[in-house]
Amino acid sequence: MIVNMHDRFSFQIEKKLPGALGRAGILHTPHGTIETPAFVTVGTKGTVKAMTPEQVADTGAQVVLANTYHLYLEPGEKRVRDMGGLGTMMGWHGPTMTDSGGFQVFSLGFAYGTSVSKVAKASDTTEEGALPEHERERQGKLASIDEEGVTFKSYKDGSEHRFTPERSMEIQHDIGADMTFAFDECTSPTAGYAYQKEAMERTHRWAERSLARFKELQMGRGERPPQALFGVVQGGRFEDLRKESARVIGTMDVDGYGIGGSFVKEDMDTAVGWVNALLPEGKPRHLLGIGEPLDLFIGAEQGADLFDCVGPTRIARTGMVYTHDGRINLWNARFVNDLGPLEEGCGCYTCTRYTRAYVAHLFRSHEMLAATLASIHNVYFLVNLMKRIRVSILEGTFAHMKEDFFARYKK
Amino acid sequence: MIVNMHDRFSFQIEKKLPGALGRAGILHTPHGTIETPAFVTVGTKGTVKAMTPEQVADTGAQVVLANTYHLYLEPGEKRVRDMGGLGTMMGWHGPTMTDSGGFQVFSLGFAYGTSVSKVAKASDTTEEGALPEHERERQGKLASIDEEGVTFKSYKDGSEHRFTPERSMEIQHDIGADMTFAFDECTSPTAGYAYQKEAMERTHRWAERSLARFKELQMGRGERPPQALFGVVQGGRFEDLRKESARVIGTMDVDGYGIGGSFVKEDMDTAVGWVNALLPEGKPRHLLGIGEPLDLFIGAEQGADLFDCVGPTRIARTGMVYTHDGRINLWNARFVNDLGPLEEGCGCYTCTRYTRAYVAHLFRSHEMLAATLASIHNVYFLVNLMKRIRVSILEGTFAHMKEDFFARYKK
């Protein structure tokens, strides 16, 4: 089955997991194909942290996702456009994506605020519903939401900015990634029902507005390659909301779907399944911000095709690397004399050339190469775990492989 | 003329500058040849900062120098040995060098001390001579020198350590670089005559002891490749001392020479010439710690064959890169919209793939890749400037090339 999403985008499902939602497919984009399920490497500010694009490609990574929020603030979307767009700017010649900016507007507004400077979001609400508007105002929060969009303060310098669905589309149009996302409100997984419902319904209205502006902008791309738009399903951990959101977004003329929201771990299995059982089958589905090893199995089994996560590079910079037995911390004293690779049998650049003892030395010496070598390993680990999951779907050995992995991997 | 330094080391002078001391040559080592004059890339702690060894090799760099002092403190020379020695440990398969540890013992002792914790060295002396020993003790300095060696405190944790010529040789033996240096006392260029003479004479005695221990250790290398030992000429800015030092070190059975001491700029031309006019012609000469663009011309003209400097990677991390017109600072606002490469016509990895605007963005975003891209460019710049100097010596165009470079390059 091949679905032509639109001009120069198509998605082909090669094989489905028997009795489950999971599938292996191929996503065609103007900058090449992505074999799915695939781990999407995150290049927040137009670079995968501590890695060159050649090092990224060398891990087997197929696609890079950058953050609209960050690129908007620095260097600015017009400069990215003038540098030839995201891929050309950063020297990555494969497929690219940008998120909508929504997640950072809300989470960085929240995370970087002082005690009284927080976004008015789920955590300010009761189980009964949203904090009253006047109460939100009073708190002097970093971001404030209205029907039209979100006003927020830059985490860099406190300057005030405003995103609307239309603005997010315009920024993503200039950044020029192959695949873009509709502007959404990303709520906390602990948000109460009433607020989740309110935010979800707003996200649906924003998705319609995103799509309308996206279509206008695509007419004016000239010689720049066309882009695809993914609509984002929200709804938190509530089954009826997730299903409603999947039904609503699923009817829209978008090219693919994002499944948004910070899941609490226990909800991964259920929430992703609820949504994917209802979304149209033929378009790709991106599980936003998810990418721990065990989550890749669960998400793929529940029908997600794309996953992204800053985890592998973020934990790498702290000395933490993945192995099939779980994470290990290279700052641990036992590694300073360990002449083995980060993981026995690993085929990555780092493991085929350096010892744990050397990488541990680099961390202890505060050398940048430490972050590079650990990041390469972690990205390779997830990218290739995902590839093996894909092969296991194609070969009918998924359940067996999952069982083996879960038995060995210690969280 | 080929001088066989010893087993698996030889130096061949291909061409000399007419009427000057400069020459082009080939230095053979157990890990490959070095075409001289050559810029030696510095990998202080067993890594060229912010670069992989492949990125280093890709600049055309032929040889890496690591610091004995740093590797002794972290991870320790025994661990370097157990990891297969410097080159194997760090994944650099070409020739390697280690310095003697002397420079760091003195300069870090001085640089990292509190106001009362400094090494008893030239700056504590008058023009008339050294500070009395009891006065040095009283000051609670980080390093104290006696005839046998130097006791110093680690810049990392304040723990006390001791280097002697024998100990320096033993550490360098374990680290296992192809070329090593005799333990020397590195004085300040502003030191008074009497202290310079005292330190120089001690350095000569330490060179004899270094050589004796080096020879013993070479008998026990087993299957590890043999090493070469360079004796270090000191004497500060005093002509008679420099000449005396060149004569004394020049008679020793070493494989090459280091020219040590922090030169003040005006002395580069004269001091290097005094020394190289007296040193035996057939062995390689390493101008220690020197490597600014103009200095490479002066040093090469005055007969130096090898140069090392942390400059290119150190300034790169601050956003400063070399061009033929002088250094530019990528933090400058004019670069944020500049779609040209760091330098027009440069063939380095960075310049052939990225714009000034993108690298400026990476610096402003505090991305590690910024340091990597700027370091690659700067190392490439110096390595290839040195290669062009070499070609100009071979082709008889050195004077012309030097004139052109000096006319354009703004310090």
Exactly one of A99, A124, A184, A305 is catalytic; which is it?
A99
The predicted structure's pLDDT at residue A9? 94
User: Which of B358, B373, B375, B376 to mutate to probe the A interface, most A CBs <10 Å?
Assistant: B358
Does the distance separating the beta carbons of A372 and B49 come in below 8 Å?
no
Out of B178, B267, B295, B308, the active site residue is: B308
Alpha carbons B58 and B308: distance in angstroms, whole number = 18
Among residues B259, B180, B252, the alpha carbon closest in space to that of B217 is found at: B180
Mutate to test the interface with A, among B79, B369, B376, B377 (most CBs of A within 10 A): B369
pLDDT value for A257? 98
Check residue A142 and give its pLDDT: 67
Pairing relation of β-strands A64-66 and A96-98? parallel
ipTM above 0.85, yes or no: yes
Task: State whether B75 and A336 contact (CB < 8 Å).
Answer: yes
- Mean pLDDT value across residues B130-138: 43
Alpha-carbon gap, residue B260 to B263, rounded angstroms: 8
Per the annotation, the verdict on A305 as an active-site residue is no
Q: Which CATH superfamily hosts domain B2-309?
A: Queuine tRNA-ribosyltransferase-like (3.20.20.105)
Q: CB distance from B154 to chain A under 8 Å?
A: no
A99 pLDDT higher than 90: yes
Say which DSSP state B178 is in: S
Question: B233: distance to nearest CA of chain A, Å?
Answer: 31
Q: Which residue is it, tokens 């990303």?
A: A186
Rounded to the nearest angstrom, the minimum Cα separation between B367 and chain A is 7
pLDDT in the model for residue A191: 81
Q: What tens digit of pLDDT does each residue of B398-408 get?
A: 999 999 999 99
Work out the average pLDDT over B11-22: 96
Convert the pLDDT of each residue in B280-327 to its tens digit. Answer: 999 999 999 999 999 999 999 999 999 999 999 999 999 999 999 999
Radius of gyration of chain A (CA): 21
Average pLDDT (B48-52) is: 98
Asked whether A258 and A232 are in contact (CB, 8 A), the reply is: yes
Determine whether the interchain pair A47/B355 forms a contact, defined as Cβ–Cβ distance below 8 Å: no
State yes or no: is A99 an active-site residue: yes
Q: What is the model's pLDDT at position A170?
A: 98
- A35/chain B closest Cα distance in angstroms: 27
Of B47, B355, B364, the CB nearest to A362: B47
Burial of residue B408, with CB atoms counted within 10 A of its CB: 0-12 exposed, 13-18 middle, 19 or more buried: exposed
Q: What is the CA radius of gyration of chain B?
A: 21
- Chain B CB within 8 Å of residue A78 CB: no
| B372 in contact with chain A, both atoms CB, cutoff 8 A | yes
CA distance A152 to B361: 22
CB contact B355 to A (< 8 Å):
yes
Distance from CA of A94 to the nearest CA of B (A): 15
Chain B residue whose CA is closest to A70: B365
Q: Do A336 and B89 touch (CB under 8 A)?
A: no
Least reliable range by pLDDT among A379-383, B223-227, B265-269, B393-397: B265-269
Cβ <8 Å between B82 and A368: no
What burial letters (b/e) apply to B270-280, b meaning 16+ CB within 10 Å?
A: ebbbbbbebbe
pLDDT, tens digit (0-9, with 9 covering 90-100), for A156-189: 888 899 999 999 999 999 999 999 999 999 887 7
Domain chopping of chain B, boundaries: 2-309, 316-408
Q: Which of B47, B77, B373 to mutate to test the interface with A (most CBs of A within 10 A)?
A: B47
| Amino acid letter for position B82 | D
DSSP state of A184: -
The answer, for A154 touching chain B at a CB cutoff of 8 Å, is no
Question: Prior bond to A75 cis, omega within 30?
Answer: yes
What is the average pLDDT across A348-375? 98
B82 contacts A357? CB cut-off 8 A: yes
- Tokens 């065990």 locate to A294
Give me the pLDDT at residue B411, please.
81
Per the prediction, chain B carries an average pLDDT of: 90
Structure tokens given for A51: 């890695």
**Residues above pLDDT 90, as percent of chain B:** 79
Of the candidates B390, B367, B381, B227, the residue with the CA atom closest to the CA atom of residue B297: B390
First-to-last alpha carbon distance for chain A, in angstroms, is 37
Q: Is the pLDDT reported for residue A115 higher than 60?
A: no
Residue B23 main-chain phi, psi, to 5 deg: -155, 160
Specify the 3-state DSSP secondary structure of A156: coil
| Residue A151 neighbours by CB distance under 10 Å | 18
8 Å CB contact between A66 and A96: yes
Q: Is A358 on the interface with B (CB under 8 A)?
A: yes
Residue B2 has pLDDT above 70, yes or no: no
Percent share of chain B, pLDDT over 70: 89
- Pick A348 or B269 by higher pLDDT: A348
Residues A287-328: pLDDT tens digits?
Answer: 999 999 999 999 999 999 999 999 999 999 999 999 999 999
- Residue B118 · residue B135 · CB < 8 Å: no
Closest among A211, A217, A219 to A249, alpha carbons compared: A211
Q: What is the pTM of this model?
A: 0.92
Q: At what angle do helices A368-395 and A293-301 cross, to 10 degrees?
A: 30
Helix%, strand%, coil% for chain A, nearest 5: 40, 20, 40
